[in-house]
Amino acid sequence: MTRVQLTNFRSYAQAELAVSGRPVVLAGPNGAGKTNILDAISLLSPGRGLRGAKLSEHIRRGPSAPSEALWAVAATVSRGAESYEVGTGLTLGAGGGERRAVRLNGVAAQSSADLGEIVQMTWLTPAMDRIFTEGASGRRRFLDRLVLGFDAAHARRTTRYETAMRERARLLKLGPRDPMWLDGLESEMAEAGTAIAAARAQTVTRLNVMLLERGGTTHNGAACGAFPCAQLAVEGETDVLLQEFGADTESKMRALFARARIPDAESGHTTFGPHRSDLAVRHTVKRADARECSTGEQKALLVSIVLADAWELTKARDGRAPLLLLDEIAAHLDVRRRAALFEEILALGAQAWMTGTDLSLFESLSSRADIFTVDNGRFTVQE
């Protein structure tokens, strides 16, 4: 990424930042707008971005720049020898309702899922430090973000599944409970759900191989042994079905949805499916589940998984590393792990956007990254 432009986005009425393609550091006090930049970039991929916020929550409160969009984000992205102009924003539809618009090289795209074909990215934020101790939904979102890097169609499948699931739940609650209508929705859920489970399983297998390869060794000259080796697994009834029935999973899932109509109607929610799966993470050296590890080790496990994902994506994409968004990453790592992280990012050739309140934490990157201080939405280059 060599340029990012924001209009009416959170704290920014108008902002543009030009970078070289190297790692980027944004340093400044809390409330300066650093995370808003990362949030904006994250919306140039499928989904709701790193905050998971409603689209209307990104609208700037206060005086806004003249624009057709309620908010907009645009960027210039290089992929190999090719360059793309990508953008997204919130606009008003013909009936006055809000809708998200996506453009690729000046042409309207069908949905935000199309962005996954151009930009592969993943992120870590301070809120994710609780991922191993809170509910399964955060772990599923984390896993699905990793899956998207390898399979851009995963976002469309997830949308298909969730849309059919909501419609089925509405019919079961309000009627009419037309068997043919329900059969059709359950077929859609089974087809998309099987594909979702298979993509998750394939991604976990790839990452486990890379994590094992990295564990306790060095990778391309980077000291990845500073981060613990993790072992991943997807747990849930759907995932057991996939392991047991393979190609017959879809038909088995369809039958289970049909059998669960009455229990689902009584409970008010869908009691079976990939939306109930969980990502299990284990610290292999300590032989402990991630939730049993210290806060520092949990953070290190997350970093280890993200770096393994970045290496595997780079290998799968002919040496083109994904974009990494690492919010307040340096402050939560000790000196050894911080140095190892920076060296590994450089060895990857990845453009990592990193934020922090203390510029001195990034001193070792001074000649190898684009470093800016951020204050009240203004960017100052640090030579």
Of 107-111, 333-337, 343-347, the poorest mean pLDDT is in 107-111
The pLDDT value recorded for residue 219 is 46
> Between vectors from CA 225 to CA 316 and to CA 369, what angle results, nearest 5°?
65
Q: What is the CA radius of gyration of the chain?
A: 22
- Same-domain status, 289 and 207: yes
pLDDT value of position 103: 93
Domain final residue pick, 295, 328, 345: 295
CATH code for the domain in which residue 56 is found: 3.40.50.300
Mean pLDDT in residue range 143-152: 94
Q: Give the whole-angstrom CA distance, residue 239 versus residue 250.
A: 12
Please report how the helices 136-150 and 295-316 are oriented relative to each other, as an axis angle in degrees rounded to 10: 20
Residues 197, 108 share a domain: no
Residues with Cβ within 8 Å of 146's Cβ and at least 6 positions away in sequence, in order, are 122, 203, 207, 305, 309
- pLDDT tens-digit map of 45-102: 988 899 999 999 999 988 788 887 899 999 999 877 789 999 999 988 777 788 899 9
The torsion region of residue 21 among left (phi > 0), alpha (psi -120 to 50) and beta comes to left
Same domain, residue pair 169 and 68: no
CATH for 237: 1.20.1050.90
Q: Counting runs of H as helices and runs of E as strands, what totals does the chain give?
A: 9, 15
- Residue 301 placed within a domain: no
142 and 205 fall within a common domain? yes
- Interval 254-267 mean pLDDT: 95
Q: Rounded mean pLDDT of 97-125?
A: 88
Is residue 61 included in any domain, yes or no? yes
The whole-number average pLDDT for the span 244-270 is 94
Tell me which long-range contacts 184-187 makes (C-beta under 8 A, separation of at least 24).
Answer: 186/254, 186/257, 186/258, 187/254
Q: Has residue 309 been placed in a domain?
A: no
pLDDT value of position 170: 96
Tell me the pLDDT band of 319, cut-offs 50, 70 and 90.
confident
- Give the mean model confidence (pLDDT) for residues 304-327: 93
- Angle 19-336-211 from CA coordinates, rounded to 5°: 80
- Same domain (yes/no): 178, 42: no
pLDDT of residue 138: 94
Residues 146, 273, single domain; the answer is: yes
**Is 128 domain-assigned?**
no
Distance CA 179, CA 333 (A): 55
- Which pLDDT band, with edges at 50, 70 and 90, does 220 fall under? very low
pLDDT at 222 over 60: no
Alpha helix (H) residue ranges in 217-372: 237-245, 249-259, 261-267, 295-316, 335-348
Task: Indicate if 257 and 284 belong to the same structural domain.
Answer: yes
Q: Within a domain: residue 336?
A: yes
Same domain, 3 and 65: yes
Task: Evaluate whether 190 touches 257 at the Cβ level (below 8 Å).
Answer: yes
Does 172 reside within a domain? Answer: yes
Of all residues in the chain, the percent with pLDDT exceeding 90 is: 76
Residue 259's contacts (CB-CB under 8 Å, 6 or more residues apart) are: none
Number of domains in the chain: 2
Q: Are residues 141 and 275 in the same domain?
A: yes
Assess whether 81 and 217 both reside in one domain.
no
Type of residue at 262: I
Distance of CA 129 to the CA centre of its chain: 15
- Residue 312, in any domain of the structure: no
In whole angstroms, give the CA distance from residue 323 to residue 41.
10
247 pLDDT exceeds 80? yes
In a domain, 300, yes or no: no
How does strand 121-124 pair with strand 323-326?
Answer: parallel
Last residue of some domain: 242, 265, 295? 295
Distance CA 206, CA 274 (A): 20
- On whether both 175 and 258 belong to a single domain, the answer is yes
Q: Are residues 142 and 186 in the same domain?
A: yes
DSSP-based three-state secondary structure for 298 = helix
Q: Which domain holds residue 370?
A: 1-120+317-383
Q: How confident is the model at residue 9 (pLDDT cuts 50, 70, 90)?
A: very high
Quickly count: other Cβ atoms within 10 Å of residue 78's Cβ: 13
Q: Which of 114-118, 180-184, 294-298 holds the top average pLDDT?
A: 180-184
Rounded Cα gap, residues 133 and 60, in angstroms = 33
Digit-coded pLDDT (tens) for 334-343: 999 999 999 9
Task: Give me the pLDDT at residue 102, please.
Answer: 93
Residue 269: the pLDDT is 92
Q: Which residue has the tokens 């399979």?
A: 151
Is the pLDDT score of 216 beyond 80? no
Residue 365 clears pLDDT 90, i.e. is over it: yes
Q: What is the pTM (predicted TM-score) of this model?
A: 0.91
